[in-house]
Amino acid sequence: MGMSEKQYSMKEALLFSQRIAQLSKALWKSIEKDWQQWIKPFDLNINEHHILWIAYHLHGASISDVAKFGVMHVSTAFNFSKKLEERGLLKFSKKENDKRNTYVELTKEGESILLELMETYEPKGHAAFSGALPLRDLYGKFPDIIEMMAIVRNIYGDDFMEIFEKSFRNIETEFNDDQGKLCKLEKAEGKYA
């Protein structure tokens, strides 16, 4: 049976669509407020922070990668990247074998700000974290959100989810929880200008 043949009722479809829309909007509103409060002392907006995050975890990324993984329009990714470049947090480049795409890479100062942001993260000030704590207390771990991840994978594809997972694997392997602060493990790397 093909995808075009309905296996659901219209009522079921509407209820699901509206339920996920309203829950997502409510959750986003709370997350957006907490995210803005977290990054405010660094004079960043959410798109700028997200661009720094993506550039860090991809060790340089094309503007189209930033747009795709940051779930933003290419012009938005470019314009906010340009602002970050003007502040000395990102640098633009072209690759020898790819002159068509513009790439962004964190500068030493950009990496420093991103790492400082991670160190200043205070979970108790985030509503989604606080809302999930009772589940962690009950089950011994935070929700995996597997169904949500499956929906996002079906919308944005495997590449999106691979980058999504890579950023979290990087945090697990490259950072340590030191007396309630997230700190990067020391590595002798000279990859930032």
- Residue ranges per domain, the chain? 42-120+157-184
Contact 193, 89 (CB under 8 A): no
Confidence band, pLDDT 50/70/90 cuts, at residue 185: confident
pLDDT in tens, 43-95: 999 999 999 999 999 987 999 999 999 999 999 999 999 999 999 999 999 88
pLDDT band at 187 (very low <50, low <70, confident <90, very high): low
The number of CA neighbours under 13 Å toward the Cβ of 105 is: 13
What is the tens place of the pLDDT at every residue in 3-27? 557 789 999 999 999 999 999 999 9
Output phi, psi for 180, to 5 deg: 80, 10
Instruction: Give the mean pLDDT of 95-118.
Output: 91
Query: What tokens were used for 140?
Result: 């011994």
First to last CA, the chain: 56
Arch. (CATH architecture) of 42-120+157-184: Orthogonal Bundle (1.10)
Task: Name the DSSP letter for residue 185.
Answer: P
Instruction: Specify whether the CB–CB gap between 71 and 164 falls below 8 A.
Output: no
pLDDT of res. 191: 44
d(CA 72, CA 81): 12
Residue where the block lists tokens 């704590």: 133
What pTM value is reported for the model? 0.85
**Dihedral class, residue 73 (left if φ above 0, else alpha if ψ from -120 to 50, else beta):** beta
Q: For 145-159, what is each residue's pLDDT tens digit?
A: 999 999 999 999 999
The CA distances from residue 9 to 3, 13, 23, 128, in Å, are 14, 6, 21, 32
